[in-house]
Structures are given as C-alpha cells and as structure tokens.
Chains A and B, each alone.
Chain A
Amino acid sequence: MQLLTFAHRPEAQAFFAELELIGTQYPGFFTTADNHVALLITGEGTANAAENLSFILGRYPMVNKVLNFGVCAGIKSEFEIGKIYSIRTHYFFDGHEFHFKSFTTSDLKAKWDLVTSAKRVLDPAMATKISPVANLIDREGHSLNSVCQRFNLPYFSYKIISDHAGLLQTKTALCEMVKEQAPLWSQKLLDHYLDLTTLSPLQKDYTYPEGLYFTQTQKRLFEKFLQALQLTSAPENLLIKIHKLDISPKNKTTHLLQELKKQLNPFLSRIEEKLDLATKPLTQIGAQVHFDNNYEKDDFKISLHVQSGQDLKRLKLALEMFSYDGIKNILNGEF
C-alpha cells in the first residue's frame, strides 16, 4: 500500500477526485477501494505530522512506501513559485537552533535540501539564518522522514514553491495566498504523482535451498553471506556436494554456512588450515587447541581430558613434536 501524505486537505483536493478515495474509521485517513493507495491528512506542524503518521503506520503495516506532497517556501528568488522540487535531505530548525539529526529521502536523484521549521518563517532575518543549511522551508518534512526511518520505509517528498520566505510578513496573508492557489497547485502535484516512476530501494529476494533446516540466526547469516558474495542463492555445485552428505538437514545447513564462510574468507581459511596442520600432533591425541577469537593474540590454550597415565605420556610425546615457533610464525603472517 502506497501512502500519500498532505498537511492540509486543500493541497490534496485533486487527488480525491482522481483516486476516488473512500473515508475510513480514522479521521483524515482515506483509501482507494482496492487498498492500493491511501491518503493521510497529517495536519500542520511536526507534532501533528509525527503523531498521525506514526498512528497510521502502526495500524496499517502493509504500507510499503510514503510519498509526501505539499507546499514549501523558497528562500532565494531562484526558486520559481509554482514549481515542484523533489527533496533530498531534511533538516530541522526549532526557531533558535538547528537540530543535529538529518534525514535523507529515498530519491537518489533529488538535489534540493529542506529545513523544517518549528515556526513559520515570516521574518527575512530568520530566513537568512536558515539559508546556509538549505533554501527550502516547510513545517512537517523532517518529522515525516524521521517516522519513516523508524518504520524502515522508503520516503519521498515533493514540494511546490508557494512563496519566498520572509517576504509575506503575516500569517494571514500567507494562508490566503495558499488557499487561493490550492486548486492549481493540487492539480500540479497530482500530475507530478501520476508521472512518477516507481522508486523502490533495491530489495533482494534470497532463495533458501530445499532439504535444509534454517534457524532464524542461520537465516540472517545465510543472507549476510549471500549479500557479501553478491549472490541471491547458494552456488549449485556447493548444494550438490552438501546434499550428498548423509547428515541431518540441520547439519547440512551448518555445513553450508561453513562453506560459504570459507568462500568469503579464503585467506582466513588458509590460516586455519595451517594452524590445523601445526596443531595436528596435539589434536590427533584428542587435545583441543584454542586460539584467540580473531587470532589477534599470539597465545593459545591446550586442553585435554586426561583419564589415565597413558594420556599423559601421549601428551608429552605430542608436545615434543609440537612447535611453538611454528604456531607463532603463522599467527604473525610468516608463511
């Protein structure tokens, strides 16, 4: 479900007509008959926008993309009134200072940044203060983008320039002007929406091999390995090899993950093979040799379950064959 958001109903009027939207139990929230598209009037300001968007996204988890439409002010005269701009990054100004967090939209081609201001910018001095950060100003965008990031949803913002910030000195004058232009601007925003191509972030679908059993942790690891190897499924020749093994589906998964890890870490696998060879005198008598997790330290532990004097004799012989310098050289890259 695609969700379109507007601060005010007049900005959305053309969309109601075109999309044949139906009211729902939630005031300000409308959907098409097939639930493919929804529309939310968030209200003005960051608090309204955050509350209402969060509420709807919580109630409608099928929303997979949010598109914000509305008006904004341009600080510089180079911004043409009535022209639509796709927003790149949102910043927030609370009236005194900028807040640190910024949020970037999912439109990779957008070039225009925008400051969401807690208050209307009617004063040219305020516009000058904001200008070094961005030259477009609105009242909700940062908040909407922030909520979408929290819900991990792609977010796009398209703004039509309504005025040049600081030139219209009163709120009344600004509201009257926007109201007058609303039908025209709403139609322009609708036309823009209808022209848009889908801009979804790349999502990979991974293919899980049949006959194997994956825990949740193993699923995450499997996808992580595939992503790093730039694959969407396990290599065919590897699967053939694993399916031939006479082991349980769960153990086949473990084996698959080990093989994928080796493919990702060929150098580390080489180091481990050398260490396996160097510690063979000990491991073949049943001792275990424990190295530092990432081989960052040179030290290691040897453990053996001793059940008889013979075990100790075997250990003594194995230690005589074991070369500490050989291990140290491997751990220090001297091979």
Chain B
Amino acid sequence: MFENIFVEKEIIDSPRVQSILQKLKGTPTLIDSYTDYFGVTKKPYLQKRTSLNLYLAHKKGTLVKEAPPAYGIEGEPHYYFVHAYNCIYECDYCYLQGHFDSPDIVLFTNFDEVANDMHSLLQNRPKIWFHAGEFSDSLALSHISGELPLLFDFFQHRTNAYLELRTKSINIRELKKLSPLKNIITSFSLSPFDIARTHDLKTPNLNLRLKAMKELDNLQFPLAIHFDPIIYQDNCIEDYRELLDELTQTISLDKIQYVSLGVVRFPSNVFHQVQKNYPTSPLHRAEFITGPDGKIKYPKPMRMWILNKIKELCIEYGIAADKIYLCMEE
C-alpha cells in the first residue's frame, strides 16, 4: 500500500507507533519532522495511485477546531479533530486535491493530546459534537491507526459528547470488535449507484456500503447518512428515490440518527485541480457558477430545488423532518 514509511524520530519508540509499524511491510525511514517533506514540494495528486507515502507524526498546534457554520445539526456546537491528512480513496470532487500540496497520508499519533482538548471543550456543555473525517476517511485505515478503541474509551464516559465517524469505507472490522455506544455515530456518505461509480473512484460501491450499514445496524451501532455531495444529472430525483428504496431494504429509516444533504461545491483552487486531474469528468459539463463566496457550485435556484426535492423524498420515506439538515447551505 505504501511505497515509503516515514516516522518522526521523537515518536519512533511510542507503543502506538510500534503497533502501527507491526501491521505494515517495509522498514521506516526516520525523519525529524513530517513538515520537512510533506507539502514542502508540490507532489502531483494522482501520484497517490502509484507512489503513496505514509508519515507517522506528532500533530502540533490546534488539534480540535470549531467547525464552520452548517456543518452539523443546527443549534448544537460542532468541532472537528485532526487525526490524519489525506485519504486512500479518489473521489473526483474531493476537496483534498486542492487543500494539501501532497496526497501522501499522514497519521497523527498523539491522540492523548486530542482527548485532552476535547475534554476541556465539553465541560459545562449539555451536548457537543466532535467530527472525525474532515481531512481523511474515519474508517478506511482504522485497522492500521488503532484509533477506534481510544475513541470509544474516551466517549464511553462522556455521554454529553457525541462523535461522528464520517466514512465511505466498508472497513468495519475494527468497529465490530467494540461495543456500540449511543453517542458514537457512524455516518455513511451515499450516492446513487451510477453516480458513485462515476465519481467515487477506488471506493467501495454502493451495495457494499449498504451491506456494511446493515451489519452495523444489526449490531446496534447508531447510523447516519450523508447524501453529500449530490451531483445533479437527468433523473436525479428518481435516482435518489431508488437509493432510498434500497436503503429501506437495508435498515429501518426511522432508526437513522440524522441525514445531511449537500450539493457538490468547490473552492476555486480545488475546481482548478479537478479540471487538471480529471479532465474527462462529467463535472465539467455541470451548470456551475462562481458564487459570491468564491465557491464553484450550482446556481441557488438549482441548489435549493435539488435539496428541497430530496428532502421531500426523505420525509416521504419516513425520515423525520427535524432529523434532516442542509450541509454548508444557509
């Protein structure tokens, strides 16, 4: 999987790092800091296909950050923590291709410090959300990172704190070893089958994701859904109707904790990378405009029409209206 493994010298002897290295092939190269190489030079994004490196590092600076508005359910505070940079999947709309200057994976191993920061934030709050998966998939490398037991241990005793594990992965084997908690929600990003096949490159297909959801549901793990990004095409609404049909055959939709809806959107630098990396993507025939916030997206009447229609569908299929929120949309 990884062409080279680089480990910061100061953490090489830590039990967590040793545990990770035992799961990987190859001899690690010791470096002073991942910042000496990661993003110092511009590594072309698509080189992740053939020469992906792994860095094991100690994250410095702010570890838990306040999420932007409309990130999660309205009316509750939302934060995200940085446990890794970059993702092994290759969705052609992914903002990571414009966000970092290298596609290499960085796993940060100082979870204890993240836990301390989360603990400070949740004091005197009736309810607070922490989200994993901002810069990486929450589950894809969980068998290597060994992070899930640490997270479950933290959240087990802090019932006012909620954790969202955002994922497109079907790598649930480590999750299944743990007892489900009501305040840890695994949220799956889903798209109609053809859309996922066209745009979610090198990710598990829809059927496999639904199967993973069913397994977790049978084990009483709370689940949520992200219909995000929604990419418009002819018969878009009918495609989502079919998707909801398939979902109802997978799990009872009234058990879903929440559904977020979001249409595809890009910062302009990311869209530039999409044009460069995926020149034949159907995204380039989409009806995008540049919004007043500088983002590339569908015009507002189109965005709202798509979101309204899909929200109506969700309600029609039995999802309560107050469980549905629009992501990153006013």
Interface residues of chain A, those whose CB is within 8 Å of chain B, are 88-89, 91-92, 97-102, 104, 111, 113, 131-133, 228-230, 264-268, 271, 294-296, 330-335
Shortest C-beta distance, B101 to chain A (Å), equals 7
Besides A132-B29, A334-B304, 12 new A-B residue pairs in contact (Cβ under 8 A), listed by A number: A89-B43, A132-B37, A132-B53, A133-B37, A230-B285, A266-B287, A267-B302, A268-B302, A271-B301, A295-B301, A332-B304, A335-B305
Question: Does chain A have a CB within 8 A of B110?
Answer: no
Shortest C-beta distance, A165 to chain B (Å), equals 16
List B contacts of A332 (CB < 8 A): 300-301, 304
Contact (Cβ within 8 A) B284 A228: yes
Contact (Cβ within 8 A) A294 B41: no
Q: Which residue of A lies closest to B280 (CB)?
A: A230
Question: Does chain A have a CB within 8 A of B227?
Answer: no
Contact A296-B44, Cβ < 8 Å, known A331-B301, A333-B307: no
Shortest C-beta distance, B214 to chain A (Å), equals 33
List B contacts of A230 (CB < 8 A): 285
**Measured CA separation A187–B326 after assembly (Å):** 64
Contact (Cβ within 8 A) B41 A100: yes
**Measured CA separation A335–B50 after assembly (Å):** 47
**Measured CA separation A266–B290 after assembly (Å):** 18
Shortest C-beta distance, B218 to chain A (Å), equals 38
Shortest C-beta distance, B89 to chain A (Å), equals 21
Q: How many residues of B contact A (CB 8 A)?
A: 34
Contact (Cβ within 8 A) A102 B31: no
Question: Does chain A have a CB within 8 A of B123?
Answer: no
Contact (Cβ within 8 A) A99 B41: yes
List A contacts of B308 (CB < 8 A): 333-334
Shortest C-beta distance, B309 to chain A (Å), equals 8
Which of B42, B299, B304 is the one whose CB lies under 8 Å from A101?
Answer: B42
**Measured CA separation A100–B43 after assembly (Å):** 9
List A contacts of B42 (CB < 8 A): 100-102
**Measured CA separation A89–B301 after assembly (Å):** 43
Contact (Cβ within 8 A) A268 B290: no
Contact (Cβ within 8 A) B299 A271: yes
**Measured CA separation A99–B42 after assembly (Å):** 9
Shortest C-beta distance, A183 to chain B (Å), equals 34
Contact (Cβ within 8 A) A264 B285: yes
**Measured CA separation A228–B280 after assembly (Å):** 9
